[in-house]
Structure 1
Amino acid sequence: MYLNREEKKISKRKCILDAAMRLFSKNGYEQTSIEELAREAGIGKGTVYSYFQTKKDIVRAFCEDELEYTRSEITAKTNPDSPLKDQLMIIFMAEFRHVTRNSEFGRLYLQEKVFPREHHSQEDLEIQNRYFEMLYPIYEKAQKRGELSSDLELLHISGHFYALYLLVVSCWYNGMIPTEEIAASMELLLLQTIDGLKPQTN
């Protein structure tokens, strides 16, 4: 099948990311060289550098893909007026599927995202801001509907819910929650937290 120039670029980028996931999982992030990655992907070393200057850029690309996948899931499966719990379930289950499709690479990705080896770069901060830009309108609408107290800071709301997601993913990695129970566990925690963040009535 003939691929145009843009399709070839997308295909090569995916090939590099897939090779990185395999090698990072098998050999470790630090132990994997760009040369080994190029060999695994079946392309030249220079081609890898034309897409990603460093291994950190590869992890960042995985983060960008996660964000776009989550955004597409929200667009396809919910609407801005859906209950907050339903929208958050779409978001966090999409993130869970994306991160755990390769469990070892997902572990590395989460470590870099939550406990990075170095301070976030400008590119990392831009991705983080895009993530907040996706979430904040959802929380603002929930506040207007009375699902969340209006005096809560949006950043703090984000922290509450993301902490729940990290807890569930952590429990999956250590075997406390099996895959088939992830959605039910996530839903229960979200409902409990939303109930606690509702406006207080006298």
Structure 2
Amino acid sequence: MAGIREEKKQQTRRAIMDASVRLFAENGYEKTSINQLARAAGIGKGTVYTYFKTKREILLAFCEEELDFINAEVARHSSEEADFLERILTVFVGTFRFSRQHRDFGRIMLRESFFPSDLRLDQSRRMEERYFRMLTPILQQGQQRGELRPDLEFTLVIGHFYGLFLVVMSAWYTDRLRSEDDVVQGLRSLFEQALTGLGPR
């Protein structure tokens, strides 16, 4: 009986998340109300608040799923023997693949990254910390192998690669890059350029 209840709860939570991303894409994040979310999910407004206190929490729930997906991709497609470039590519290609599966969510999160609204700093920082914990061992290993300078500040390095990733994602959303191969090649070129520098060799 408890198993059936838990399955029903998971179905309700998923219905809220799916309805939210659909309505955020159609109406905009700011213009979508909890009432609209409840109607679209086929539940009462109070039920939505049982699962999520704010719309921001719904986006953060998608972020949690994204990080779980990326971790699984890293475990599946990367190894500690791979060089730094291949390991960091695995992370960002995994991020792209999640956005491809949830295109509307990816678009919203890119916009929210630059122009945050209804921001819950404590929750956002928790997500950032998870992301940093995932990337830090890759950066540390890159330093140990001499692939990265030992004096680099990890926060800035992660920001650098994430900024390049956003450039590629913008090109994908505007159809300048049309396939996963295009995205991977774009990321690889920009990441290699970041690692080798722009000056003459």
Give the alignment's TM-score, normalised by structure 2.
Answer: 0.89
Structure 1's 195 and 94: CA in aligned 2 closer, same or farther, altered over 3 A?
Answer: same
Q: Does 1:135 align with 2:123?
A: no
Report deviation, 1:7: 2.9
C-alpha contact (below 8 Å) 2:56/2:120 kept by paired residues: no
Q: Distance in 2 between matches of 1:144 and 1:4?
A: 49
Deviations 1:135-165 (A, max 9, x none): 0111000110111111111112112211110
Matches within 5 A, 1:1-202: 4-117=4-117, 120-180=120-180, 181-196=182-197
Q: Gapped runs of 5+ residues in structure 1?
A: 198-202
**What is the Cα deviation at residue 194 of structure 1?**
2.1
Instruction: Indicate the percent of aligned positions where both proteins have the same amino acid.
Output: 42
Between stretches 180-189 and 125-134, larger displacement belongs to 180-189
TM-score of the two chains, using structure 1 as the length reference: 0.88
Deviations 1:159-199 (A, max 9, x none): 221111011001112232222411111111122222239xx
Distance 1:160-1:20 versus aligned 2 partners, 3 A rule: same
Secondary structure in 2 matching 1:150: coil
Offset at residue 44 of structure 1 (A):
2.0
Aligned length: 197
Tell me, in whole angstroms, the C-alpha distance in 2 between the residues paired with 1:140 and 1:44. 48
Q: How many angstroms apart in 2 are the aligned matches of 1:64 and 1:113?
A: 15
Equivalent AA in structure 2 for residue 184 of structure 1: Q
Is the contact between residue 21 and residue 105 of structure 2 (CA under 8 Å) also seen in structure 1? yes
Counterpart of 1:4 in 2: which secondary structure? helix
What are structure 2's unaligned runs of at least 5 residues? none
1:50 maps to amino acid = T
Residues 118 and 15 of structure 1: CA distance in aligned 2, closer, same or farther (over 3 Å):
closer
- CA RMSD after TM alignment: 2.1
Deviations 1:91-124 (A, max 9, x none): 1111112223343432221111233136551111
Q: Is the contact made by 2:143 and 2:150 (CA closer than 8 Å) also made in structure 1? A: yes
**Secondary structure class of the residue paired with 2:62:** helix
**Cα contact 2:16–2:48 (8 A) shared by 1:** yes
CA offset at residue 8 of structure 1? Answer: 2.7
C-alpha separation between the residues in 1 aligned to 2:103 and 2:77? Answer: 25
CA–CA separation in structure 1 for the residues paired with 2:43 and 2:85? 44
